[in-house]
Amino acid sequence: MQLSDFAARAQTIRQLYDEQARRDGRRPWTAAEFAQGFAGDVGDLMKLVMAKQGLRPAPTGKPDLDAALAHELADCLWSVLVLADLHGINLEQAFAATMNRLERKLHQA
């Protein structure tokens, strides 16, 4: 799959969440709320990374740390894709430009 395929799938899931919110009498999330959810997911990811490194106990109910880590990374990717779309950012172009800039900087060091 290409990044654009992942982005399209992320938007489909976001639309389903929006529809569910409306059915439940709630409004869809704003970009700020998605960012807040992303921050929570990053916190969950950090706990799992620390558990994998033996720096903290594994979260209760998550005996398979590899599966839990894969899940959190996918959650984080979903949030990034949704936030990029909500802000009109072409993530493929932004990623390529950022990596090119970093590579040039590291070659100059």
Phi, psi of 6 (to 5 degrees): -60, -45
CATH number of the domain that residue 36 is part of: 1.10.287.1080
Residue-number span of the structural domain to which 49 is assigned: 3-108
Joined together, the tokens standing for residue 10 give 């992320």
- pLDDT computed for residue 59 by the predictor: 85
Residue 109 burial (C-beta neighbours within 10 Å; 0-12, 13-18, 19+):
exposed
Total number of domains in the chain: 1
Which tens digits make up the pLDDT trace of 50-107? Answer: 999 999 998 888 779 999 999 999 999 999 999 999 999 999 999 999 999 999 999 9
- Residue 1: what pLDDT? 86
